[in-house]
Structure 1
């Protein structure tokens, strides 16, 4: 086929491949609207707020409980990203370029009392919105220069756009029908809404273009940014002395120092295999509460990998100060720091990070402040010092964390859960499972552990990543090279007199015997 005169004309070509009746249905969603993007953005934001108020969630076909508001949040981000890429090129066919967005707007406006149907539709719309954005950029990068495979790529792109419009057209037709007809067809339409054909056409296009996936193409963010809902952010500003009292009452574990200690062992440009891992990215970006466990043999770098996850959350907070709360903890079996292997202290430290502001503003979530005041008053009635107010137990922490999650999504990272005694480990894992099962908002938990039968059994329904030798091979090479060089530079190895040949032989020797470590 001869290439369209402008990138956005591909949608026009795709439209005309549809059945005439379906062409009319898709085209009808634009009507007389001028600024379709502004309209779909407004509708998506309105529906997002409505779903937040109603706390809508549904169970998808994978059995996952999905927070609908979070999916709509991602749709909003895709629309904003589409706008940020740039307005439709001068001379381009703006009507056809707006077709998918007009259909998305129509479908978002078709509110339904059936949460499962609405949730399934919104879930599919998020996938389609992402594809519209990704392949707009694809056109710019891959179809504005000549190549021998350009005609085939153009044809594959049109086929992808065609099945996208076809899927949208069938959905619009579905919602245009009478309520009785919709009810009769709803099971079929929702079950058919997994976009199988869309994904198939995308795979064909990527293969022709020589790409593995669209994240490589666009270098998209690997994490969905979730910001606090300030309208529901119930906090109180307290005096510094009172703020410090609450901090000490909760936990005195120096979690920041522990993170610095582990992070100091992490070499530059390592741990990237985890951030690029499909299971990790799915866990991070999905609209479902879930646990992801990273496990492996001792010495395989699990704590360092956990520190990289924590560091990415910290970096996101630096960029987005209103990032929803996250907490982390490094477990350790230590006589000098017994609290690092005690479930109640671990949970209090997690609560401390979720409920207290990370900056110097001395802000405390109202739910925790009320609990502290009640316990302090009880201590005074019993003739005790304020500092002797009864500590929170594991179940108290669960209750307060769930209160916090009513308004905000939360993320928790716990390293080395195998450091706890078996009964304590079971108590901690059950607490975290309780949180993800009962949170009204999205709760994400990332854990690391050695190979442990009990832990694997308790988390058998959660996602897991085992650290294999192939996964961390590059990190291991980097580490071995660094340590040998360090020993040579400090003259700790043969007085620093190590030839390049001996260096290489020693490096190969250590790597051959390292295994998964």
Structure 2
């Protein structure tokens, strides 16, 4: 291989002319610098020490300090060539004799090619000239005159430069970051290819290190040892050939994977091109369908549309969605709705959030009317479906425009609406909070609508009450149970621990963290609320021994968890038990959301008999006293006032149910019922101090007296 022609190099099965290197833009950042450094770090300690000490102690003549290293090396080789030419030196390679001048010419060709791609460092400083160029310069300057030494030097450099240039071409084909892919096979092939290049670089550096050690001997010893012996060069060539074959194989593997990717992409592009005529025909069909469908929608003035929609239903379904909170079923429902809105704007979409303590949001008739209202309006135009306009006209002409759509009428209208959407989706949250005696009728409507049209999908979130479970299991459906969210509980607990780590004086160890996650995961039974209650109590403990003790004493089920928390609340010192008691009482019996800024005032009046105020009572004190059983959320302000405010609410419906079940039941924190008279005294005391408000509220209070009357004693 010493006599390999310098004009061509075979890379990835292709014979590349080195003259093409001039077409590659010169690189100023030397992309192979890191590989050379990695190769040096993997050398034996003797080789690393030799290279470092030799280059750091190298003395340069003053004339070379301002000369690029490429020029220094080239001039040295040309000098060797002239010396060989004058002396007519020859070297025996195998059975043939070769003039040293010809070997020097090949070395010069390699150096010229490297200069064309800008791959020879320009620094004259040995420590910053980069490997292996500083080493090559040292050997050229250190080599003594003589035929044997010159022959060994030029033959060795010819082989070294051939290997280096071959690797350089490899790197230009597969530069770092050029081929980004998620294909594991391609990434593995690129990694194997890089390893093969590293092995070649290590061979070159080891070869140079051996020569440096020879040059560090005195002249007499150097003559005896020879610069590079013929056996050294032969062994180097054999090692290089084996590693080059491996690098070539890995390079071809990379090329095959890349070609496979290109074929896949080309196939996808061809498929798209083939589909274009079909898409054009499909567009014509869609335009025709759109024309037919549009005929069932009637364009009306905006005020007329508002009148008809308000006649159908007055419930503000959008506000219920906007302020959906929590981390359980309701939050999941809100995400489903948002996904459909964002990704499928042409779908017919209707949704409803049931609420147990709001009669209007528990009635199946109101639910169906809300669905009709949402689906009656054409999503892209100022239009209403004709069937709804016709129904409103019939009521108006018969003198019953103030009457509401009945349950069966809403059912029939929904059936007609389903046929005029490409997809029709209805989403219902908290079916279990509907009136138990009539929610079976609602499920029957859902089952009927699904059988009437293939384009209808219904998403229902609910507890598995016996009647609901029995009715849903009778029809084909896809169910998601508590056991399906175990992974979500693990992520939730992990996130809570990570957030707490930022403020804990003593961080939770990795082992303890995993024990907490595993224990809560196994014992939660899919109940998010149970896991949320337990992680809050666990994170309130500072010592690992206390945390592990707590993990071994976790309550079984939500009821046991609430029993434990209420006992803890009652055992608290100072006014905290009374504060929690009053907070639960106010929220349980209030017919409207309690403003987070008003509740502290109401509680303080209840504690002081409606006169003196506990001036330092605030939101945080109330939340702490209630041990995370209350939360603060946004809500839409009532009584015609525009804007948003903050409200206290129970952290979970199960909290409210627990308190209701324990009302006057002997529990230390039972909430007496009715409590309206005491609330009235505190409220009137609050209002009496707000001068000027009665005039503004006179017109509003009568509208809402009905909301309070039904909760009177």
Q: TM-score, with normalisation over the residues of structure 2?
A: 0.31
Q: Which has the larger radius of gyration?
A: 2
Q: TM-score, with normalisation over the residues of structure 1?
A: 0.42
Q: Which has the higher contact order (CA 8 A, sep 6+)?
A: 1
